[in-house]
Structure 1
Amino acid sequence: MRLAAIPALPALILPLMLLAPSGTGASRGPRPASAASDTSALLGFSSEAAARQRTLETRFDSLLDPAQLRAWLKRMSSEPNQLGSPHGKVNAMFVDSLFRAWGFQTRIDEYQVLFPTPKQRVLEMVAPTRFQASLREPPVKGDATSSVYAHRLPPYNAYSADGDVTSELVYVNQGIPRDYEALARMGIDVKGKIVIARYGGSWRGIKPKVAAEHGAIGCILYSDPLDDGYHEGETWPDGPFRPPEGVQRGSVMDMPLYPGDPLTPGVGATADAKRLSPEEAPTIMKIPVLPVSYADAKPLLAALAGPVAPEGWRGGLPITYHVGPGPAKVHLKLAFDWKLATAYDVVGMLPGSERPDEWVLRGNHRDGWVFGAEDPLSGQVALLEEAKAVGALARTGWRPRRTIVYLSWDGEEPALLGSTEWVEDHAAELEKKAVLYINSDSNGRGFLGVGGSGTLVRFVNQVAREVTDPETGVSVAARALARRDVEGRGDDEASGSGGESERLPLSPLGSGSDYSPFLQHLGIASLNLGYGGESRGGIYHSAYDSFDWYLRYGDPSFAYGVTLARTAGRLTLRMADAQVLPLSLTPFAKDVARYADQVMALADSTRKATARRNERVASDAYRLAHDPSETYVAPDSQAGVPYLDFSPLQNAVAALNQSAAAYDRALAAASRDGGAPSEAVRARLNTILGGLEQSMTRKDGLPRRPWFRHQIYAPGFYTGYGVKTLPGVREAIEQRSWDEATEQIRILAGTLRQVAAGMDRAREALSAS
């Protein structure tokens, strides 16, 4: 198909900005990224400053070398580098030495965090036959590091409880709430049982959490070949997908309550911090949990009887999937060393020349579960190359207006430990100084994926239109938009900012990487980006996430590593150098209006669904619709859904959109007048705009999880990573807590009025020019 080039954005043109000329709309086909960049202004820059910035970025691009990324990746992934490992510390010192050599003011901040590691792992089937799970990832031919066992953690789930349990086994599909509803219809209760769940459908920590809520005494997690094994393609080393013995490690800490060190919620885990005991920490899982390979899971699943699993529950193993319970009976025994480990966060600062107390922060974590070539070191080496180029620019005499802070995090994999403790430790300073946090994680071949604060959508699009995709020659925005067009668009709670077909949307952020403490705890505007979609595989969190795998299937030429450095580097440099912070208010206000429409529709659909359910219960329709020879337990009726008063939210959303539009009009008028605001006006405007995201937070946080303060974006209580927009209201409706929903509508309306007031102050500051 023929793609249209993305037209010049209908940007909020600051008084300092060159208006994009007419005639920059859709062309007859794809164009190189540079073609678009020649005709558009830069958000937040005067025309003269924009020209200087483009020259700087061209120099920046010339300094990026894919060979350097390859060399760093090979070195840093040569040994296990998890939190607390010897090579993890070596890598921290290596990054520190690089930052220092490139001219950054460098330090390593240390935190003492709880990181349990396994002392004993036993999984065996004791009936109807005996089977001992290997719980081991063997060496693979062609994967040099797969035979390295020194300092390597075996497959396990961090923050599982200790336990020694024996019981019948029940297969619970993905182990999320709706699966337990289906089990209840089958008359199956997991109380006192051990459950086995396949990965997928939610973040892994939700699965044992929900199992424990239903009375299970143990949980086994496994990767089904339907999802990332031989069903998808050849397995490693013949292909990129998960081999039979590959295991997905990972944390099962209850991070929807709070991430970071379980023992020091809300404060940095310094050596002298006051700590909870592990027994007091609410985020530590209450039952034993263990991940296994599909080679180890197969005998367990094959030994189950009971009802045949529903069609959507059946995986790719050559067995008939049954639910149980039993006759398979398993023994699970786990014991952990509940010790503190030192997390080493490497910080490199380049002070700003004009506004040193405004910080642009750029981070990527450094720790893996084993060798971590893809996750996270593919993103880490891109950050290093980016920092190297920024340092080289600084040595020529250039200085950013704002301070740039590069951050190499430790301890992300267990629970966002390094970033969360650093943010909590420096919270007061960050609330005063941070204007943007830019995060990346793993990286590979393919399409730009980006999520973040809705006020940044036009800023991101302008950068994405000016970075060239290395395989197609069009802009990374054009390629991502083409994929979105072909695959279709959604309008659910996770769909992104944008609202225009020619604009790449920003996905709202839930959790799962190091942006979470910045955005959802402190209210610092944040972005999360990376490339992928064409480097699919099944080595996630296994010992086979190695340099050899990445060199064959990840990003063999490291072209997309350089592309990530170009993209994140431009975002960092432009935010650091912009004369006025390049935020866009109208797209954000429209997003909030859409989210509000969604929660109102959710309340309405829940009311109608409840009425239909109750009618069917009353008429005995559920029982009559099922085979009487099979066990079926009809659902109970539910209390009716009241009509919630959404008028406070509707009025606040209307005011928010009016304030955003008024700010836009003031910008347009100032541009027409041709006057440039004074430095004092710019400083006032930047202070107001920089605090807008913080005005979206509430110190008391969300119900039952005060650590999460952002009222627009949060990870779901039962999704883990997945986002919930307007979370206080949305989750109250989902949990049928109607009094809470009413209270959260009131709270959200007050928050939105607070944000609108900030927009009004920005308009007034602009008018003062």
Structure 2
Amino acid sequence: MKTLFSGRILPLFILISCGQPPAVVSEEPKIKQVSTFDVALDRETQSKLESQFDAVLNPQNLDDWMKHMSSKPHHVGSPWSKKNAEFIAQKFESWGFETEIETFEVLMPFPKIRKLELVSPHHVSLQLREPVLKEDATSGIRKNLLPGFNAFSADGNVTAELVYVNYGIPEDYEELARMGIDVKGKIILARYGGSWRGIKPKVGYEHGAIGCIIFSDPKDDGYGRGDVYPKGPFRMEQGVQRGSVLDMPMYPGDPLTPGYGAKPDVKRLEIADAPTIMKIPVLPISYGDALPLLKALEGPVAPAKWRGGLPVTYHIGPGPAKVHLQLEFDWGLRTAYNPVAKLKGTVYPDEWIMRGNHHDGWAQGASDPLSGMVSLMEEARAIGELVKTGWRPKRTLVYAGWDAEEPALLGSTEWVEFHREEIQEKMVVYINTDATGVGFLGVGGSHSLEKFINEITVDVMDPVQDVSLQDRLRARLRVSENKDAEREDLRIYPMGSGSDYTAFIHHAGVPVLNLGFGGESSGGSYHSIFDSYDHYKRFNDGNYVYGTTLAKVNGRLVLRLSEADILPFRFVNMAENIGSFIESNKKLAKAVEKKTENRNKLLDKKAFTISGNPKKTYLPPKRLSLVPDFDFTPLDESHKRLEVSAWKYEKALAGVKKGFLSAEQKSQVNQLLREVEQAMTRSDGLPRRKWFKNMIYAPGFYTGYGVKTLPGIREGLEERNWDETHFYILEVAKALDRAAAKINAAADILKAS
């Protein structure tokens, strides 16, 4: 599902009961932080192991496997998706892993009727079909191919005037309201971008729209960026971006089984009662099909920032363009096949290090997801080669190929929901990959792992430039004058949603990392039939040097996590990042207050009316309710306690000598370290979405993939729900105190050793 720098990968960078925390916090002295090798790993032994791992990696395997698995459409429920799952499982088994294919029965609608036509002021039947290209060997395959559609759109047969709504996000509707334009009873036309696609029909429905059409604008995703396929990599005139519009910010996974694994005997909601299924029909189209619709619109000319790259004046409507949209789906259960492979640990068999990547695609799915999948497979094969030499991991390694990620993270979410208790008891870290390309390493995840991933990126060389991955990214940050370029550890980004890490971090409270290369990859094939082997070979990582490098990075993550006597979670960076989230929310609170005061003053002075053009309708904005004072003191004090705990742990860790901890002490410390992330969850979750339990990160309710840090506070401010803002300031403070208590307990054990 993931795109890279043009989409969802950005640059690189439970519970313990607490009494009333102390009001006064004594400073813990800050010291130079030690490395994982200083306290938990033998550098010589580990370096030899990693060199052996690197030596067996073979880019040709990635090429062979991608060509094979992308040779046919492989969406969930298709014959080739099952075949690919069996192929992956057979490979895992041959490499020495104990392997099974776990299945779930998930709702997945397949399109039966797709019809879109302009009926006024003249008639045009739209093509709704991607062409066959002689330059792309698999573009002619139509058997078992899903046409361009949006999964979990409602059935519908509607005819109405058309309104162009730009990206269709909340602020666009504020602009429409000022222009006196109402979408109630209308069909909206939105362009991809500005948010995750599912937000567009969601917000449209909230404003009364009865249908939604989403198109790829060439300014964002076509000839406005470069030559189009097959001459160049970018989206061609009839290329369509498929995708899900399930309301995943409420909860991902099977919409009929929230919180429970979708096994055959589980109780299911009725489709009509599932809150995440879209309530209006939604259809994606190409910019070639969008052009006659835009040409037929009149009404106000769109604001400059709403105008795209098509050769037409962008009008908003409504009308005189009127369209007929008819969609009907087969709402059946499909079997999702998750191959899961385990290599049992010799010392800590009940501590799991997990890797995952999805194997299903919307069509051929070469880049998304197979570029990441074949890298994971080569990584697992290399682990298997180490086992042949007599090495065995200390901790249990788990490798998974998720099915049904594209429709709604179905395969991974159902697996986490079904195994949640065991996952929370045993899982150390989940490491995710998805589509990967070329350029710079992007890393997101739990900030307790920020220092650890920085230790690894300085040890792995860029396959093109003769510098480490970290040094190359640091150079890029310097060129762009990013203030974090000189930070000792480059930042990793906080996690929203969009790939299979979601259920682990947001629902189960498992620490995660999400990795992939991007920044120099050529887009344009995303979720179309042209995300093919031919496109990937010509315009992406065709020699698989970055895919192989990704295997080196993830292999080191897995091997070091497996072998470390003390798990490499570190909390100074975590506390510093959380501090920045707190400050960001404080600034937002002040900005909301200032915006409210300024707008209301201008309304009192009738400034909007006086300054307006009398020849155009442009109404004053609505008056805003007054913003109360927010007391961030409890949160500031909790954060201070977290900082002190983090430095207390660093001091205790620095005093540990290798080999001096007993097995029982190691077990106790590692158990506490694993529970820190879970300590920052809340069983009742976030407002209107109990499934999302992490108090530090969440996907935005109105952004979809994009992260909201301290989401209960931030979205309370953004949505002007002051009671929620007050409440979650206190809830986040409690979460930080729970985390600090875990860290303190771990530090006390180390100090006593």
Q: Same fold (TM over 0.5)?
A: yes
Instruction: Determine the structure 1 residue equivalent to 2:705.
Output: 721
Given that 1:43 and 1:582 are in contact with CA atoms closer than 8 Å, whether structure 2 keeps it comes out as: no
Instruction: Determine the structure 2 residue equivalent to 1:195.
Output: 188
Q: What's the secondary structure of 2:139's corresponding residue?
A: helix
Q: What's the secondary structure of 2:645's corresponding residue?
A: helix
Matched, 1:369 2:362: yes
Runs of 4+ in 1 over 4 A off after TM superposition: none
Instruction: Determine the structure 1 residue equivalent to 2:517.
Output: 531
Instruction: Determine the structure 1 residue equivalent to 2:735.
Output: 751
d(CA) in 2 for partners of 1:630 and 1:99? 66
Instruction: Determine the structure 2 residue equivalent to 1:237.
Output: 230
**Counterpart pick for 2:649 among 657, 660, 663:** 663
d(CA) in 1 for partners of 2:381 and 2:673? 30
Matched, 1:45 2:75: no
Q: What's the secondary structure of 1:173's corresponding residue?
A: coil
1:534 Cα deviation after fit: 1.1
Matched, 1:275 2:268: yes
Given that 2:477 and 2:485 are in contact with CA atoms closer than 8 Å, whether structure 1 keeps it comes out as: no
Q: How does 1:14-93 map to 2 (within 5 A)?
A: 42=37, 45-46=40-41, 49-93=42-86
Matched, 1:558 2:544: yes
Instruction: Determine the structure 1 residue equivalent to 2:3.
Output: none
Given that 1:258 and 1:705 are in contact with CA atoms closer than 8 Å, whether structure 2 keeps it comes out as: yes
**Counterpart pick for 2:569 among 583, 586, 591:** 583
Distance 1:43 1:91, change over 3 A: farther
d(CA) in 2 for partners of 1:166 and 1:524? 47
Instruction: Determine the structure 2 residue equivalent to 1:136.
Output: 129
d(CA) in 2 for partners of 1:499 and 1:12? 19
Deviations 1:298-346 (A, max 9, x none): 0001111111110000000011101111110000000000000000000
Instruction: Determine the structure 2 residue equivalent to 1:712.
Output: 696
Given that 2:642 and 2:739 are in contact with CA atoms closer than 8 Å, whether structure 1 keeps it comes out as: yes
Given that 1:43 and 1:459 are in contact with CA atoms closer than 8 Å, whether structure 2 keeps it comes out as: no
Instruction: Determine the structure 1 residue equivalent to 2:663.
Output: 679
Distance 1:391 1:321, change over 3 A: same
Instruction: Determine the structure 2 residue equivalent to 1:505.
Output: 491
Matched, 1:609 2:595: yes
d(CA) in 2 for partners of 1:334 and 1:675? 66
d(CA) in 2 for partners of 1:361 and 1:522? 14
Matched, 1:421 2:405: no
**Counterpart pick for 2:626 among 640, 648, 658:** 640
Q: What's the secondary structure of 2:259's corresponding residue?
A: coil
d(CA) in 2 for partners of 1:464 and 1:502? 13
Q: What's the secondary structure of 1:420's corresponding residue?
A: helix
Instruction: Determine the structure 2 residue equivalent to 1:688.
Output: 672
- Please, what TM-score do these two structures have when normalized by structure 2? 0.95
Deviations 1:529-579 (A, max 9, x none): 001111122110000000000000111111011011111111111111111
Given that 1:73 and 1:547 are in contact with CA atoms closer than 8 Å, whether structure 2 keeps it comes out as: yes
d(CA) in 2 for partners of 1:624 and 1:467? 62
Deviations 1:58-107 (A, max 9, x none): 00001100011000000000000000101111001101110111110000
d(CA) in 2 for partners of 1:381 and 1:488? 35
- Aligned residue pair count: 725
d(CA) in 2 for partners of 1:590 and 1:110? 41
Given that 1:44 and 1:582 are in contact with CA atoms closer than 8 Å, whether structure 2 keeps it comes out as: no
1:489 Cα deviation after fit: 3.3
1:485 Cα deviation after fit: 2.2
Matched, 1:573 2:537: no
d(CA) in 2 for partners of 1:280 and 1:630? 43
d(CA) in 2 for partners of 1:389 and 1:510? 31
Distance 1:369 1:44, change over 3 A: farther
Q: How does 1:311-710 map to 2 (within 5 A)?
A: 311-489=304-482, 501-670=487-656, 676-710=660-694
Q: What's the secondary structure of 1:98's corresponding residue?
A: helix
Instruction: Determine the structure 2 residue equivalent to 1:35.
Output: none
d(CA) in 2 for partners of 1:372 and 1:216? 32
Given that 1:44 and 1:581 are in contact with CA atoms closer than 8 Å, whether structure 2 keeps it comes out as: no
Given that 1:157 and 1:289 are in contact with CA atoms closer than 8 Å, whether structure 2 keeps it comes out as: yes
- Which has the higher mean CA deviation after the structures are superposed, 108-117 or 756-765? 756-765
Deviations 1:663-718 (A, max 9, x none): 122223446xx873222211111111011111111111111100000000100000
Given that 1:12 and 1:584 are in contact with CA atoms closer than 8 Å, whether structure 2 keeps it comes out as: no
Q: What's the secondary structure of 2:138's corresponding residue?
A: helix
Given that 1:83 and 1:342 are in contact with CA atoms closer than 8 Å, whether structure 2 keeps it comes out as: yes
d(CA) in 1 for partners of 2:280 and 2:600? 35
Q: What's the secondary structure of 1:364's corresponding residue?
A: strand
1:11 Cα deviation after fit: 6.6
Deviations 1:22-55 (A, max 9, x none): xxxxxxxxxxxxxxxxxxx626524xx2211110
1:767 Cα deviation after fit: 1.2
d(CA) in 1 for partners of 2:524 and 2:453? 30
Q: Which amino acid aligns with 1:456?
A: L
Deviations 1:583-616 (A, max 9, x none): 1111101111111111111111111110000000
- Please, what TM-score do these two structures have when normalized by structure 1? 0.93
d(CA) in 1 for partners of 2:678 and 2:334? 32
d(CA) in 1 for partners of 2:488 and 2:314? 45
Given that 1:217 and 1:288 are in contact with CA atoms closer than 8 Å, whether structure 2 keeps it comes out as: yes
Given that 2:199 and 2:702 are in contact with CA atoms closer than 8 Å, whether structure 1 keeps it comes out as: yes
Q: What's the secondary structure of 2:83's corresponding residue?
A: helix
Q: What's the secondary structure of 1:55's corresponding residue?
A: helix
d(CA) in 2 for partners of 1:468 and 1:660? 31
Matched, 1:741 2:725: yes
1:499 Cα deviation after fit: 9.2
Given that 2:509 and 2:681 are in contact with CA atoms closer than 8 Å, whether structure 1 keeps it comes out as: yes
Distance 1:627 1:387, change over 3 A: same
Q: Which amino acid aligns with 1:707?
A: W
Q: What's the secondary structure of 2:127's corresponding residue?
A: coil
Q: What's the secondary structure of 2:397's corresponding residue?
A: strand
**Counterpart pick for 1:12 among 26, 29, 33:** 33
Q: How does 1:171-186 map to 2 (within 5 A)?
A: 171-186=164-179
1:753 Cα deviation after fit: 0.7
Matched, 1:159 2:156: no
Given that 1:361 and 1:405 are in contact with CA atoms closer than 8 Å, whether structure 2 keeps it comes out as: yes
Q: Which amino acid aligns with 1:365?
A: H
Matched, 1:149 2:164: no
Q: What's the secondary structure of 2:99's corresponding residue?
A: strand
1:500 Cα deviation after fit: 5.3
- Which has the higher mean CA deviation after the structures are superposed, 435-444 or 638-647? 638-647
Given that 1:464 and 1:567 are in contact with CA atoms closer than 8 Å, whether structure 2 keeps it comes out as: yes
